[in-house]
């Protein structure tokens, strides 16, 4: 029986009374109070959590600052932050910095409120304000460590870029802070055939990442029963049979899978619930969508998946990517979509930059400061 449990039918005995009194004697009310923190979400030490107090904390590049930030765009003494645990908002004051302090994308003047969840950008550094109980901080740090491990594991499974031969590859994989369920890869099937794929599991977090790793391992090891890996339809059908959502915690995924034959220059491909990949010619005059209309993987058992093929001219690129590449909230707080993103594919190459870096830089310029909302996964395959 517990305090306030007046409806309990358990009889009160001498023993339970002793236990209750003993519990009351050791009971201490919670004295936790919320504290202000800022967390580095982009910059020199991602994940670092800095506590704010009544006394202002000075941020800058100079050695005399409380938090020294190694960033050439940050002034010697850039800004000051403080926060009282009894108040929800912290405050921030710009110290006449050269390049400015920006809260949620707006340059501030003097002292302003710094609300929980708000983003502060100075130079190339972005911080998020958190107002948490110490127990919440411990939990967040534990979760952050788990996510970091999962992030490293997914990255370790990605193939190395191919820099020579008839097929070249480069890619960019930037998991979001929550870690999404993207995975991709490629490999030679035979001397003359090459397969590439990308999957995007619904949801975020370690669960989605684990699921994407399971799918990726099946594809890497070619471990689908009775499946010809040269046939995209068969591969998607077998994945659908193996990964039904009711057997995998309600998770489904979208997928794109393609097989290129070096002798015939034919690319056979199929997609399931995934936006198109795009084939861009060497002159960058057009971006041809490569998509077949099929339901996502895991939604319904026993489905067939249609495939298609296209001839690939020398010097063409194929861009395969997840929706996190284009579903971004812009600095003007509008929603970007695939149609907004597509012109980037035919934009001129940038000397000294890989295609995936060029496109990431362009997206990052459009998106709100800080990490992207979803995983950024982009694979570029060049067919010489």
Partner 1 sequence: MELEVSPIDDSINRVRLVGRMDSPGVDQIELRFTAGVIANGRKAVIDLSGVSFLASMGIRMFIAGARSLQLKGSKMALFGATTEVQSVLDTVALDQIIPIAATESQALALLKA
Nearer to partner 1, 238 or 294 (CB): 294
Pick between residue 81 and residue 251 the one whose CB is nearest to partner 1.
251
Burial code of 215-245, b = ≥16 C-beta within 10 A, e = fewer? bbebbbeeebeebebebbbbbbbbbbbbbeb
Q: Which is nearer to partner 1, 132 or 272 (CB)?
A: 272
CB of 235 to partner 1, least distance (A): 17
For partner 1, the closer of residues 251 and 344 by Cβ is: 251
Residue 45, classified by CB atoms within 10 Å of its CB into exposed (0-12), middle (13-18) or buried (19+), is: exposed
Give the separation between CA 222 and CA 283, rounded to whole angstroms: 35
SS3 206: helix
Residue 347 Cβ vs partner 1, minimum distance, rounded to whole Å = 22
What gap in Å lies between CA 265 and CA 311, rounded to an integer?
6
Integer angstrom CA distances of residue 200 from 124, 311, 372: 29, 26, 16
CB of 146 to partner 1, least distance (A): 18
Shortest separation between residue 294's beta carbon and partner 1, angstroms: 6
Cβ neighbours for 195, distance < 8 A, ≥ 6 positions apart: 186, 187, 188, 189, 229, 230, 257, 258, 259, 260
Q: Which helix (H) or strand (E) holds 226?
A: none
Positions that interact with partner 1 (CB under 8 A): 200, 202-204, 245-246, 250-252, 254, 273-275, 293-296, 299-300, 303, 323, 327, 335, 337-338
For residue 258, the Cα-to-chain-centroid distance in whole angstroms is 24
Closer to partner 1 by CB, 46 or 338: give it: 338
Compute the least distance from the CB of residue 124 to partner 1, in Å: 27
If the CB atoms of residues 223 and 300 are measured against partner 1, the closer one turns out to be 300
The minimum distance between CB 255 and partner 1, in angstroms, equals: 11
């Amino acid at each position: 029986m517990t305090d306030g449990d007046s409806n309990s039918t358990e009889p009160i005995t001498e023993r339970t009374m002793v236990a209750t009194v003993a519990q009351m004697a050791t009971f201490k009310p919670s004295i936790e109070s919320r504290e202000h923190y800022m967390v580095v979400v982009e910059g020199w030490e991602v994940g670092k959590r800095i506590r704010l107090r009544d006394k202002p904390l000075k941020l800058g590049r100079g050695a005399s600052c409380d938090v020294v930030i190694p960033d050439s765009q940050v002034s010697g003494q850039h800004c000051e932050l403080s926060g009282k645990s009894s108040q929800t908002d912290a405050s921030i004051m710009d110290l006449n910095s050269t390049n400015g302090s920006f809260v949620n994308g707006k340059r501030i003047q003097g002292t302003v409120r710094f609300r929980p969840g708000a983003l502060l950008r100075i130079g190339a550094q972005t911080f998020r304000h958190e107002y948490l109980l110490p127990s919440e901080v411990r939990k967040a740090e534990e979760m952050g460590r788990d996510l970091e491990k999962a992030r490293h594991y997914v990255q370790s499974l990605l193939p190395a870029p191919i820099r020579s031969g008839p097929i070249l590859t480069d890619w960019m994989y930037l998991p979001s802070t929550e870690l999404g369920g993207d995975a991709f890869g490629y490999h030679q099937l035979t001397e003359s055939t090459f397969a590439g794929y990308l999957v995007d599991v619904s949801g975020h977090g370690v669960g989605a990442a684990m699921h994407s790793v399971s799918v990726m391992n099946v594809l890497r090891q070619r471990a689908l029963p009775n499946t010809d890996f040269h046939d995209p339809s068969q591969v998607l059908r077998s994945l659908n049979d193996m990964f039904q959502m009711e057997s995998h915690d309600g998770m489904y995924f979208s997928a794109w899978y393609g097989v290129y034959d070096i002798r015939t220059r034919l690319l056979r491909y199929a997609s399931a619930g995934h936006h198109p990949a795009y084939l861009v010619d060497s002159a960058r005059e057009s971006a041809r969508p490569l998509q077949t209309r099929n339901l996502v993987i895991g939604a319904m058992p026993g489905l067939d998946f249609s495939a298609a093929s296209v001839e690939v001219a020398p010097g063409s690129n194929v861009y395969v990517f997840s929706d996190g590449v284009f579903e971004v909230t812009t600095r003007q707080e509008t929603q970007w979509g695939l149609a907004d993103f597509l012109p980037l594919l035919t934009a001129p190459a940038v000397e000294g930059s890989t295609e995936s870096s060029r496109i990431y830089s362009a997206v990052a310029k459009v998106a709100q400061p800080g990490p992207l909302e979803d995983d950024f996964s982009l694979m570029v395959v060049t067919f010489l």
